[in-house]
Chain A
Amino acid sequence: MATSRSDGRLSLGELVSCLILWAAVAYGQSKNSCLDCHSNLPEPLGVSQEKFSQDIHAQKGLTCASCHGGDPTSDDPDKAMSRKAGWKGKIDRKQIPQLCGTCHSDAAYIREFNPSLRTDQLSQYGTSVHGKRLAAGDTKVAVCTDCHGVHDLREPNDSRSTVNPVNVANTCARCHADASYMSEYKIPTNQFAEYGKSVHHDALVVRGDLGAPTCPTCHGNHGATPPGFASVANVCSTCHVFQAQLFDSSSHREAFASAGLPGCVTCHSNHGILHPTDDLIGTDDKAVCTQCHTEGDTGFAAAGKMKQHLVQLATSIDNADQILGRAERSGMEVSQAQLDLAQTRDTLTKARVTVHSFNVARMESDIKPGLEAAGKDYDAGNRAMAERNYRRVGLGASLVAIALVLVGLRLYLKRIEG
């Protein structure tokens, strides 16, 4: 029965044998004896099957042996963890970037899994403060696994990833907010606390804007380093383009440089950047202008003028908003005027940006059309309220007329019914 056929087709027996052989080979290839033991070991040697299955590498088909070497197909621990089989054991911290770079710097290999993934992480790391200090023998600095995790490493766009935009500040803070850990580096450890109060943190965590800046946005990720004195403005300008252009063309650029002041952060701070208000400008105690300008100088007068313009426009917009709100609550149709007011608010935003030119005349060119538009919006609200009053007077007159007719009808009925 089970003989090879001359027509080239397999007999049933041959087919079963082939399937058993294929299953045995496949079993041997997929077998990962490491987890058989390590899933039962306590931390730090323990790695459960469940934990490892969450790892992006495991999901892409890599095994323990891909990083640690050895023979995962063998049930014998001595064979599985033999140097002969290439077993490396626990990876030395100094070697971790190089080990990760084995694959992550290989563009051809990475392309097989994710063609859009960059492959310059290792070279970037070499330029970072972390990388330089590691090369100098400091093993306390962050290596790949400190930020990305190990054995349950997730893609950055996974919300559970330690390097997801929402989580990465916490990851950095694990070291940078630990005063005792950072004591030997003589750098502040309040960055995370300050960032937590900032407008950027509010945008990212409270409003859920994943484009809002977090630590790596300004410092870089693999090439993390504090922005240099001269490059702070460049960092901010990647998002705040107009403000940076206006500042660069203003007289403050030279003045700040000669006074040794670092651009944007001089007025706005760095990690704890609060939501800017009009109080930042002007001549009172809260205004940052008074840190340099004193009464009598032209900058002091200009700061006062600019504050006055901003307050005037903001007040006009508020007044228009209030009267339109009252008209709307009275049932008047003012949606077009409210739409116009939203555009007027844009002129206030534009004027607040123009502050960075520190040029009063330039700012006035934004304020003037804004004031005119706010005036029109206020007039629209006033007209709506006048119309509301006109309607109510008309209603009163109509009700009086109706009441008179009712009285007349009642009297007539009384007369005819005697």
Chain B
Amino acid sequence: MSLRRSLRSWLDERFGWDALIAPLRKKTVPLHRFSYWYFLGGITLFLFIIQVFTGILLLLYYRPGASEAFESVQYIITRVQFGWLIRSIHSWSANLMIFTAFAHMFSVLFFKAYRKPRELTWVSGVILLFLVMGFGFSGYLLPWNTLAFFATKVGTEITGQVPVVGRPLMIFLRGGEEVTGATLMRFFGFHVAVLPGLATFLILVHVLLVQRLGISVPPKLEAEWEANPSQKREMKFFPNFMLRELMAWYVALGVLGALAAIFPWNLGVKADPFVSAPAGMKPEWYFLFMFQTLKLIPPKVWFIDGEVLGVVVFGLIALLWLFLPFFGRNHPSRSKQWITAIGIFALAYMAGMTIYGHFAQ
């Protein structure tokens, strides 16, 4: 008996291994011309795993605190063997993960994969997207450089605009009235403990829901397959789809390595709270569409403060987005049309505002 078989029988005797993995053996993935979009969720998961591993390695040398953070990152990228690579991959992977998470969300939206019975898969996914943006916001401050310092100052100020809870929330995030070493400690805590814990739990829920409910097929195709079952095509998850997903992960790894080696992530200049903010400061690209919108809103809209209005509207949109699958369930065909229209508008608006914000002075 080979080692593999004996190990399997050992596990089976104790945990009922064969019964446990039986559903995975039967699991299939719909095969059609849009099947490539199914890779996006897996790539996002792969990038999250990379974040966890590189994050743990960075933790070996990173020291939180206003007087040590910048120097410790500088030490990592100049003195630690392959420290530059780990830090650069961590930064690039964070950005790619946010990009693939957005792409995954829009693919789910346009293929109507959120519809019954997958509403909770959508809800958990959107919360994960918000958490990923939270990772980006909290991690951006950790090197304690000038851009990060002022971006956090502006970002937490915007949080402070939320009616009623805004100011206490801002003080909670900052650990006081101003962005200081206390803010850095809090953001470090959120970034390495709170957010990873929540994200890991939600990823488990999200993946379990996908396993339990299966992979969605676009409605038009589903109708065709129902009308003519002979047209239905599927691929086994193990090993066929998994090996293809593995290929996608390798491609992502290659892209990450190339970005990290050719464009190492810049460290910038150490934050100095006593200097004025650099001219033309902008947040990271994934917050740029919101930042640019807030800049374009007039200071007063009727009697409401423009910035407050912007923050409230964005908050409401996020809330509606979270519960999108629960709207228009009584008229599925009509709701499909307007949700597609909203999705196209949202994508165009976000892309347009991001490009405008990038080039605006």
Contact = CB atoms under 8 A, between A and B. Distances in A.
Given A331-B263, A333-B78, A336-B78, A395 B246 contact: no
Nearest to A391: B261
A416 B261 contact: no
A398 B257 contact: yes
Interface in A83-112: none
Select the residue from B77, B78, B239, B246 with max chain A CB neighbours within 10 A: B78
Contact of B84 (A333, A399, A406, A412): A333
Given A331-B266, A333-B77, A336-B78, A399 B257 contact: yes
B84 A413 contact: no
Contacts of B253: 402
Select the residue from A333, A335, A412, A416 with max chain B CB neighbours within 10 A: A333
B201 interface: no
Interface string B235-277: 0000110011011001101100110011111110000000000
A336 B85 CA distance: 19
24 contacts: A331-B263, A331-B266, A332-B264, A333-B77, A333-B267, A335-B74, A391-B261, A394-B261, A395-B258, A395-B262, A398-B257, A399-B258, A402-B250, A402-B251, A402-B253, A402-B257, A405-B250, A406-B250, A409-B247, A409-B250, A410-B247, A412-B243, A413-B240, A413-B244
B251 A416 contact: no
Given A331-B264, A333-B78, A417 B240 contact: yes
Given A331-B265, A391-B261, A410-B247, 5 more contacts: A331-B264, A403-B254, A406-B247, A409-B250, A412-B243
Contacts of B262: 331, 392, 395
Select the residue from A331, A392, A403, A405 with max chain B CB neighbours within 10 A: A331
A395 B85 CA distance: 11
Interface in A384-399: 391-392, 394-395, 398-399
A128 to B, nearest CB: 44
Contacts of B77: 333
B254 A409 contact: no
Interface of A: 331-333, 335-336, 391-392, 394-395, 398-399, 402-403, 405-406, 409-410, 412-413, 416-417
B256 to A, nearest CB: 10
Contacts of B250: 402, 405-406, 409
Contacts of A391: 84-85, 261
A94 to B, nearest CB: 53
Contacts of B261: 391-392, 394-395
A398 B240 CA distance: 25
A405 B247 CA distance: 8
Contacts of B244: 413
Q: Helix, strand, loop or mixed for chain B's interface?
A: helix
Contacts of B84: 333, 391
A406 B264 contact: no
Interface of B: 74, 77-78, 84-85, 239-240, 243-244, 246-247, 250-251, 253-254, 257-258, 261-267
A60 B203 CA distance: 75
B182 to A, nearest CB: 27
Given A331-B264, A395-B258, A398-B257, A409 B239 contact: no
A395 B257 contact: yes
A409 B262 CA distance: 27
Given A409-B246, A413-B240, A333 B254 contact: no
Contacts of A409: 243, 246-247, 250
Contacts of A399: 254, 257-258
A413 B251 CA distance: 16
A416 B244 CA distance: 13
Contacts of B263: 331
A110 to B, nearest CB: 38
A270 B257 CA distance: 61
A402 B258 CA distance: 12
Contacts of A413: 240, 243-244
Nearest to B253: A402
Nearest to B265: A331
A402 B254 contact: yes
A1 B64 CA distance: 81
Contact of A333 (B74, B247, B257): B74
A402 B240 CA distance: 19
A417 B267 CA distance: 48
Nearest to B88: A331
A236 to B, nearest CB: 35
A266 to B, nearest CB: 44
B258 A406 contact: no
Nearest to A336: B78
A416 B239 contact: yes
A399 B261 CA distance: 11
Contacts of A410: 247
A394 B88 CA distance: 15
Given A336-B78, A409-B247, A410-B247, A416 B240 contact: yes
Select the residue from B84, B247, B251 with max chain A CB neighbours within 10 A: B247
B62 to A, nearest CB: 16
A388 to B, nearest CB: 9
B226 to A, nearest CB: 26
A394 B74 CA distance: 22
Contacts of A417: 240
A332 B85 CA distance: 11
A336 B78 CA distance: 10
